[in-house]
Structure 1
Amino acid sequence: MSYPFELGGETLWDAGYHSGQLYASLARGAAEFLEMPSGLTPNRQGGCDVEPVSFQAFVEALYGIYSSTGNEVLHRLAQGLLVTSLVLLDRAEGAITLRPPHAAALLEEKAVLARAMA
């Protein structure tokens, strides 16, 4: 059983059911925390549709929290959600600007995770 993330009829990530549900739940919680939409909407197929403009804004805001905090716990909590979101954003043909202190590490983590999210 899967949990697909789709954009315009194209599957960006055919997540395992539990992985997809957990990611969508974490994104909903982060969006609530950030007081903005996540850009992910549950669909009839049992997954989520990705609205690219809102999703990109969500990922930018998530990166803002990640990159600006001195709180190690908040930084680490945001990291997993951020890296997964960067892979999904890349597949939706979106991008955000990563600043030098974080860019190399995040891009490396994104590449590793992208292979696992095939």
Structure 2
Amino acid sequence: MSYPFELGGETLWDAGFRTGQLYASLARGTAEFLELPSGLTPNDQGGCDVEVESFRAFVEALDGIYSSTGNQVLHGLAHGLLVTSLVLLERAGGEITLTHRYAAALLAEKAAQARVMA
């Protein structure tokens, strides 16, 4: 069983059911923390539709927290969600500009993560 993330009928990421549920839950909770929409909406196929501009704003805000905090716990908590979100955003045709000291490492991790996100 899968948990598809879709844009206009195209599957961007056909996550495993539990993986997709966890990702969507983490995104939902983080969006609440950031006080903005995640850009992910549950759909009738048992996954989520991606609204690119809202999702881009969410990923940008998540990156802002990740790159600016001195709190290692907050940094670590945001890390996995951010890397996966960068892959999904790219597949949706969106992008954000990474200019901070973590940019090169995040881009390398995004490329590696993209290879395992079927």
- Other structure's SS at 2:41 match: strand
Q: TM-score, normalised by structure 1?
A: 0.99
Displacement of 1:100 after TM fit?
Answer: 4.1
**Percent identity among equivalent residues?**
80
Q: Deviations over 1:5-46 (max 9, x none)?
A: 000000000000000000000000000000000000000000
Q: Report the AA paired with residue 113 of structure 1.
A: Q
Match of 2:18 in 1: 18
Partner of 1:95: 95
Gaps (5+ residues) in structure 1? Answer: none
State the match for 2:85 in structure 1: 85
CA distance in 2, matches of 1:16, 1:74: 26
| One-letter amino acid of the structure 2 residue matched with residue 50 of structure 1 | V
Cα-to-partner distance string for 1:66-107 (whole Å, 9 max, x where unaligned): 000000000010000000000000000100010141111001
TM-score by length of 2: 0.99
Q: How does 1:1-80 map to 2 (within 5 A)?
A: 1-80=1-80
- Equivalenced residue count is 118
2 CA distance for matches of 1:19 and 1:108? 22
